[in-house]
Amino acid sequence: MSTTIDSNVISRMNAGAGSRDASQSAELRNNFMTLLIAQMQHQDPLNPMDNHEMTTQLAQINTVSGIEDLNQTLKGITDQMDAGQMLQATALIGKGVLVPGDRVLMEKDEEGQVYSTPFGIELDRSAENVRVTITNDSGEVVNRYDIGPVKAGVESFSWDGKTSEGETAASGAYRVRIEATSDDKPIDVSTLNYAIVGGVTPRDADGGVKLDLGAIYGQVDLDQVKQIL
């Protein structure tokens, strides 16, 4: 009489190694060893199980154990990365950051002093000239001016709150549009706006830490922060 451990059983054990807990895995390994010993005890003396077959089956159960150990190691690394991201994110609470967006907020106090939120640009390569266009909520151009050459990377700027006629614009929210050129040809540019981090949401189902930027800007991923001001 010959008893052979079904290879499909081993395959299912390998496939499920990442989803079982330690007690379930230990039980499966014990069952495997019980089956292997029973196989050896009841093998046909005239047709015994060869060494290669037994070695293969032992290697397969060791593979299951190796996958489980690897999964535990990866889980520990992931947990450490999550904790590091949370610490990094909470350190930003109360600070100003530049994130993808095109809003600029401008306010003029009773004494005529103008305050406006910064804006930024991100360039993959240097631009010979960058042009800024400020528009109101109706899409009307309030001001348009050139910044000049800008190096590759992230740079922040501010609007003085003036219109094209040199007058102070009304307090409120505006949009900023950026155009960058090199050799008189347009190049890709990302527009960034300023926001203050008000809170942090722990890692979600999508696998990211979220920064709460308030009702206007909502939530953004940590990796969307391009500059801390």
Distance CA 59, CA 14 (A): 11
What is the extent of the structural domain holding 167? 96-228
Q: Note whether 123 and 86 are same-domain residues.
A: no
Our measurement of the distance from residue 65's CA atom to the centroid of its chain's CA atoms, rounded to an integer in Å, reads 31
Residues of the chain whose pLDDT is less than 50? 1-7, 9-10, 13-14, 17-19
Distance CA 184, CA 37 (A): 79
pTM of the model as a whole: 0.63
Last residue of a domain, one of 37, 59, 90: 90
Last residue of a domain, one of 90, 122, 150: 90
Q: Note whether 70 and 125 are same-domain residues.
A: no
> Is residue 83 in a domain?
yes
- Contact predicate 92/44, CB 8 Å: no
The structural domain count of the chain equals 2
- The reported pLDDT for the residue numbered 69 is 67
Q: Note whether 174 and 143 are same-domain residues.
A: yes
- The reported pLDDT for the residue numbered 1 is 41
Q: Note whether 79 and 192 are same-domain residues.
A: no
Instruction: Specify the CATH number for the domain of residue 160.
Output: 2.60.40.4070
Q: Note whether 117 and 75 are same-domain residues.
A: no
Six-digit token string for 190 = 């990302």
> Is residue 1 in a domain?
no
pLDDT digits (tens, 9 = 90+) for 80-90: 555 566 777 88
Q: Note whether 86 and 151 are same-domain residues.
A: no
